[in-house]
A and B are shown apart, each in its own frame.
Chain A
Amino acid sequence: MRTLRAAALLTYKDLVSLRRAPLVVILLACYPLLIAGLVGLVAGYANARPRVAVVDLDHIPPTTKIAGHKYHIKAAIDEVAKNVRISWMSKPAADQALRTGSIVGVITIPQGFLTDLKSVVHSPTLEFETAQGGISSRVTQQMQALVYNLNLKLQGAFIKDAIRYISLIQRGGKANFLGSSYNVLGIQKARALLLKEKGNATAIEVARFLDTAEGALRASQVSASAVAQPIKLSVETRQGRSWLFSAQMQAYALALTIAILALALAAAVTASERDENVACLLGRGLVSKLSLLLAKVALATVVSLVVGAGILLAFGAIVDIGGITGGQPWGRIPLVLGGVILFGAALGAIGTLIGALAREGRSATLGALLVALPIVLLGLVPREIVPPAGIVSDFLPFSHGQRFFGSALYDLHPWATVGPEALWLLGLLILWGAVARLVLPRLTEG
């Protein structure tokens, strides 16, 4: 009881002191929001289209005829390259750009490409080079999509051409092939001619064969038509939230702001006990180490709760006033704030540890900021890409908090995520609190 009373007295003292330093409060609240905004911009940039060079060694003309259809190959490449920005370059310029990193890949149209394409005998090849780096696999996938889209466009034309030839063989007519013009009799007319030869057994046999051949060609025509209509993806763009107001952005803004705020605040107020030369007075039995730890954790929690509620209210107000689709899930706010309490407390324990280790307030704040960035960035690294980062991140509160907030705000059934994450945060509070408690004598014994 005495422990809790002393902790409450110290927390109240810290809150009064904080209220008398409004500039510090504004800075502490605005700085993380600024960082959250910048991370948002970077994340948005990550979705930007990478730049890819196309080198045309075959000197493809503006228009060319393939399978009886006129094509603008260059325009087709530009059109199907939806996820990359295409720049047409010479080979040396593209090589230089790839070396300097101003492009992420080079597609080369080799000599003889168009001839191979028109011949229908060989499949022409597009060559793709990419630089090393995290984005290369993504760009390769986009290039595969580009080739797929090009193939789809050409495939349609080839199949239409094949169907036209089948129809010609069935019905007869005029045809052009490899630059020469022909008159084709057609199966139907050929059969009619043969049937005039009554009593000729050979003619009857040939007419029967023509019946079979026509049946087979009809079946081929049906198959070719089916292949010409591959599965199509129907894309419908619905009115939804812009990225800025998305669930992810709210969860990141909340987690990032509280992470920096709680860490820096707990570290600074802990170290300030030494700066004001009061730690030595408290340490002589006035206040237990546990009370001191609880006071700093409580302060970080209270301030996190206030700032967290402020962020949620601000987002909610903008979303509601702007009539943004989906609205703010007001009913979920208490659940989110429950997570904010655990998240702020766990970070407060780490901040107290930093404050106890630092020699004075300024180094404590600097230390907290230096620690906050890796904590946040480790939480942002996808576990699937760097598994060790995921393991380290498990023992830090950021990723748990961010998952808790995102799920609590927008998952249809949040408890499957929120429950385990809450337990993680509680565990981390106990773990880091125990470490901070062990280090606190450094503070009180100067």
Chain B
Amino acid sequence: MAEVLLSARSVSRRYGRLTALAPFDLELCSGESVALVGPNGAGKSTLLSLLAGSLRASEGQISITGAAKVGWLPQRPSHYGRLTARENLILFARLENVGDPERRTTELLERFSLPSDRASAHLSVGNRQRLSLAIALLGDPNVLLLDEPTASLDPKQRARMWQEAGRHVAEGGAVLFSSQNPEEVERHATRVIALDSGRLAFSGGPAEYVVWEREP
């Protein structure tokens, strides 16, 4: 049986009177690739931010099992534009207390084929997204949270992104990704969660999701 890496119990988030996410339960196990779908404003980014620890929950509890770590790729590229890819990676590695920041940085720069000497603001959109993913992977996380990771990428870059996500799952990690692309959901998800207006609308396998989505 797969190990539960991350669980959320009745987690919710309100902004004043507005409920961005109604109480929500989730378990994420090793080897899983879970797709989070729903229209804009459904609460996907809110849920990912809550699970990443960037946003405080109004209610409920989020538990991370044992020594499991969480990596997060926000929707927009997240790094310092005036620093190079190498400088960004070294800075975040030091902030995350990674054992050997220089070695880990070199490893990730090579793995993601990132130019190390150019200010990251001058990198292509694909390279900037990959740099953000490299930052998410710095601490060698078990759980990877990806917020619309391929939204602004061309097909080739998308393939590289899914290759990295697949590699993570294959190594025993878990991926929770949000997407607006049904084709990607069908191809890369082992489970699908649909949200609508901050509430759970569907939870099941990709094939069931396709049927559910086609229902009027």
Residue B87 CB within 8 A of the other chain:
yes
Interface string of B136-158 (1 = CB under 8 A from A): 00000000000000000000000
Chain B CB within 10 A, most for which of A9, A20, A278, A283: A278
Give the docked Cα–Cα distance between A287 and B97 (Å). Answer: 11
Residues 76 to 99 of chain B near chain A (Cβ within 8 Å): 76-83, 87, 91-92, 94-96
Residue of A nearest to B139 (CB): A286
- Report, as a range, how many residues of chain B touch the other chain: 20 to 34
Query: Is A284 a contact of B95 with CB atoms below 8 Å?
Result: no
Residues 49 to 75 of chain B near chain A (Cβ within 8 Å): 49, 52-56, 72, 74
Residues of A within 8 A of B123 (CB): none
Residue A285 CB within 8 A of the other chain:
yes
Query: Is A276 a contact of B55 with CB atoms below 8 Å?
Result: no
Residue A155 CB within 8 A of the other chain:
no
Residue A178 CB within 8 A of the other chain:
no
Residue of A nearest to B82 (CB): A17
Residues of A within 8 A of B55 (CB): 445-446
Residues of A within 8 A of B52 (CB): 280, 284
Residues of A within 8 A of B96 (CB): 286
Given contacts A16-B82, A276-B78, A281-B74, 11 further A-B contacts (CB under 8 A): A13-B80, A17-B82, A17-B83, A20-B119, A277-B78, A278-B78, A280-B54, A281-B78, A282-B95, A286-B92, A446-B49
Residues of B within 8 A of A20 (CB): 82, 119
With known contacts A280-B54, A281-B135, A284-B54, A17–B78 Cβ distance under 8 A: no
Instruction: Count contacts on A: residues with CB < 8 A to the other chain.
Output: 22
Of A16, A280, A287, the residue contacting B95 (CB under 8 A) is A287
A293 → chain B closest CB, angstroms: 16
Residues of A within 8 A of B56 (CB): 441, 445
Query: Is B82 a contact of A21 with CB atoms below 8 Å?
Result: yes
Residues of A within 8 A of B49 (CB): 280, 446
Residue of B nearest to A280 (CB): B54
Residue A6 CB within 8 A of the other chain:
yes
A selection of 25 A-B contacts at a CB cut-off of 8 Å is: A6-B95, A9-B94, A16-B83, A17-B80, A17-B83, A20-B82, A276-B78, A276-B80, A277-B76, A278-B78, A278-B79, A278-B80, A280-B49, A280-B78, A281-B54, A281-B72, A281-B74, A281-B78, A282-B95, A284-B53, A285-B53, A286-B92, A287-B95, A445-B55, A446-B55
The B interface, classified by DSSP as helix, strand, loop or mixed, is loop
Give the docked Cα–Cα distance between A441 and B79 (Å). Answer: 19
A257 → chain B closest CB, angstroms: 24
With known contacts A280-B54, A280-B74, A286–B82 Cβ distance under 8 A: no
Query: Is B54 a contact of A13 with CB atoms below 8 Å?
Result: no
Residues 114 to 148 of chain B near chain A (Cβ within 8 Å): 119, 135
Give the docked Cα–Cα distance between A26 and B96 (Å). Answer: 34
Interface string of A427-446 (1 = CB under 8 A from B): 00000000000000100111
Residues of B within 8 A of A285 (CB): 53
Chain A CB within 10 A, most for which of B53, B72, B95: B95
Query: Is A9 a contact of B78 with CB atoms below 8 Å?
Result: no
Chain B CB within 10 A, most for which of A281, A282, A285, A286: A281
Give the docked Cα–Cα distance between A133 and B56 (Å). Answer: 56
Residue of B nearest to A281 (CB): B78
